[in-house]
Amino acid sequence: MDKNRLFLQAIGKFLLGVIVIGLLLFLPAGSLQYWQAWLLMGILFVPMFCAGLVMMAKNPELLRKRLNAKEEEKEQQTVVKLSGLLFVAAFVVAGLNWRFDWCVLPDWAVWVSAGLFLICYLLYAEVLRENAYLSRTIEVQENQKVIDTGLYGVVRHPMYMATTILFLTMPLVLASPFSFLIMLLYIPLIAKRIKNEERVLEEGLEGYKEYKRKVKYKVIPFVW
């Protein structure tokens, strides 16, 4: 795939994401004055756009893999679909929560959550920098090696560490405790995905079993 085609594909998916999430938030809210939704879209999509430009310039192959990733295993297809349903439910409930003023978090909690979200975005960017083999699907790639430095020397799945915190802070940025409760269901889903991924890596990636013995924790140091 040439760079121009890759760029158009990336821009198309990016704009589709902006439109879909905007509709999921503002239609239930019944207003464009839902400022917490604008805040989330800003801290979500502006860094995403910048990260896409960096990948386009420095590692277009990684960008291509992440844009075209499709899960092959049925078990993981189910995890992806359920995760998508969680996001839809959380965003819709957040909009309704704001519209009907059920239980809206104070502004300071929204801004603290936004700060935490951006910190985790930086962690996610660091993981992308450290590991050129990162894929959105569970697979062992050609010539793949075990990465055990940087964040990978702290936990085995720093990408899941960053994304889990990102996902849990989203409903807080939207000022919706009800949406946060919905997103807590993401934790057992990601645990199931990690279990399957580690099985695949143990079977197909040389040195992964030794890496597991060296780095004890999967996602959260001293906890999990």
CA distance 178 to 190: 20
Assess if residue 182 is contained within a domain: yes
* Residue 220 belongs to a domain: no
Domain count, the chain: 1
Q: What is the pLDDT of residue 182?
A: 96
Asked if the structure places residue 81 within a domain, the reply is yes
CA distance 133 to 151: 15
Residue 224 domain-assigned? no
**Does 34 fall in a domain?**
yes
**DSSP, res 149:** S
Q: What is the pLDDT of residue 185?
A: 94
List per-block mean pLDDT (blocks of 10 residues) for the chain, which spans 224 residues. Answer: 76 92 97 97 91 77 69 70 92 97 96 95 82 56 71 87 93 97 93 86 82 87 83
What's residue 143's pLDDT?
Answer: 56
Residue 133 confidence (pLDDT):
60
pLDDT at residue 44, rounded to an integer: 94
pTM greater than the 0.85 cutoff = yes
Query: Is 98 part of a structural domain of the chain?
Result: yes
Domain contains 223: no
pLDDT at 59: 72
pLDDT at 108: 97
Q: Please report the pLDDT score of residue 79 as a whole number.
A: 78
Asked whether residue 27 is assigned to any structural domain, the reply reads: yes
Domain containing 75 equals 3-214
Q: What is the CATH number of the domain that holds 101?
A: 1.20.120.1630
The pLDDT value recorded for residue 113 is: 97
pLDDT value of residue 69: 63
What single-letter DSSP state applies at residue 152? G
DSSP string covering 70-135: ---SHHHHHHHHHHHHHHHHHHHHHHHHHHHTSSPPPHHHHHHHHHHHHHHHHHHHHHHHH-TT--
